[in-house]
Amino acid sequence: MRNVVIIGSGPAGLTAAIYAARANLAPMLVEGWQSGGQLTTTTEVENFPGFAKGIMGPDLMKDMRAQAERFGTDFLTGDVSSVEFGTRPLKITVDHERTIEARTVIIATGASAIQIGLKNEARLTGHGVSTCATCDGFFFRGKELVVVGGGDSAMEEANFLTKFATKVYVVHRRDKLRASKIMQDRAFKNDKISFIWNTIVEDILGEDTVSGVRLNNLVMGTTTTLPASGVFVAIGHRPNTALFAGQLDMDAKGYIVTKHGTTTSVPGVFAAGDVQDSIYRQAITAAGTGCMAAIDAEKFLELTGHR
Ligand code: NAP
């Protein structure tokens, strides 16, 4: 029987682990096969306090993991296949074979990249279609690329890709960006980036690899073809909550509803980070709520006579 089981290894999960381990709760953290969360697929993180010169996302996650390990977090690598929150103790099954019992659970499963939903997008994923510039940008040296989206992720991807590509077209469905001012300015100043406004990607072209996109200008109603060797989709994220459907209260978009910090609709189950945050979605806010979840779990254990 575990006092605390944490599901997820992004900033929320690892911060919860650091706090729970330092409170002598001997937490177990279940990290998926792709450990470290979204920051492992990002480039330079410039806004995480304490790193005046910035830090690469994967390095930040490696350090957070080492910090959680140093204080005695027990890591289990595997994907949680089901949970049972309707009875006590709480149960978490990993890879369909191992069931762990817990007095409290902290859910920090984060969010995943949304896809446009085109048939050829799925078919050409890994063959020119990507949601991760850091992972795949290197393969497009000297090529022309398309980035879809108008938020911070799209600007970050576009800027990063200009290290390799000769030209990056940002295709956005409106005539205004959603991205923060600083990210917009950086993209506007970059000679290699051009914007295609009021336009959606209607289809992704290519047999074995991407050869271009078919664009639809929503204002003019015109359809054009743009040659490109890669398409980077950066149109936002969806919370990873399918596992908890029917067991926890969620909002219309599938985010876990929390009250008083990180408390969910099931006593002893807490949620931290992007899985319960559709507004801020920053590494630092995820870490902050991870800390809160560990403190909330500790209080719950005290109140239920296990401390
Ligand atoms: P986002 O802010 O939700 O932006 C998504 C963008 O994709 C929007 O411009 C949206 O268009 C567009 N979009 C959504 N669905 C679409 C579709 N089906 N077809 C075409 N376009 C579509 O998502 P994000 O950029 O991933 O950012 C998420 C959060 O992470 C934000 O809070 C952001 O500040 C943060 N973030 C921060 C940094 C940083 O500071 N370095 C980097 C990355 C992300 P509309 O504008 O028309 O809605």
The pLDDT value recorded for residue 44 is 80
Per residue in 262-300, pLDDT tens? Answer: 999 999 999 999 999 988 888 999 999 999 999 999 999
pLDDT above 80 for 179: yes
Helical packing angle, 11-22 and 57-70, nearest 10°: 20
Q: Is 18 in the pocket of ligand 1 (CB under 6 A)?
A: no
Atom 19 in ligand 1: residue holding the nearest Cα? 116
Report the predicted TM-score, pTM, of the whole model to 2 decimal places. 0.81
Mutate to test the pocket of ligand 1, among 39, 134, 281 (most ligand atoms within 8 A of CB): 281
Atom 36 in ligand 1: residue holding the nearest Cα? 152
Q: Is 132 a catalytic residue?
A: yes
Share in percent of the chain as helix, strand, coil (round to 5): 30, 30, 40
70/64 Cα distance (integer angstroms): 10
The pLDDT value recorded for residue 298 is 98
Q: Is 239 in the pocket of ligand 1 (CB under 6 A)?
A: no
For residue 6, the 8-state DSSP code is: E
The pLDDT value recorded for residue 286 is 97
Instruction: Pick the catalytic residue from 136, 274, 277, 296.
Output: 136
For residue 142, the 8-state DSSP code is: T
CB 201 within 8 A of CB 171: yes
Per residue in 75-110, pLDDT tens? Answer: 999 999 999 999 999 999 999 999 999 999 999 999
Per residue in 231-250, pLDDT tens? Answer: 999 999 899 999 999 999 99
The pLDDT value recorded for residue 189 is 98
The pLDDT value recorded for residue 21 is 98
pLDDT above 80 for 43: no
The pLDDT value recorded for residue 307 is 85
Tell how strand 98-107 and strand 269-271 pair up.
parallel
92/83 Cα distance (integer angstroms): 4
Per residue in 200-221, pLDDT tens? Answer: 999 999 999 999 999 999 999 9
Per residue in 123-160, pLDDT tens? Answer: 999 899 999 898 789 999 999 999 999 999 999 999 99
Report which of 296, 303, 301, 271 is spatially closest to residue 3, judged by C-alpha positions: 301
Task: Kindly state the percentage of the chain with pLDDT values over 70.
Answer: 100
Q: Is 136 a catalytic residue?
A: yes
The pLDDT value recorded for residue 278 is 87
Instruction: Pick the catalytic residue from 59, 74, 132, 203.
Output: 132
What's the one-letter identity of residue 38?
Answer: Q
Per residue in 216-231, pLDDT tens? Answer: 999 999 999 999 999 9
The pLDDT value recorded for residue 28 is 98
Per residue in 24-35, pLDDT tens? Answer: 999 999 999 778
The pLDDT value recorded for residue 61 is 97
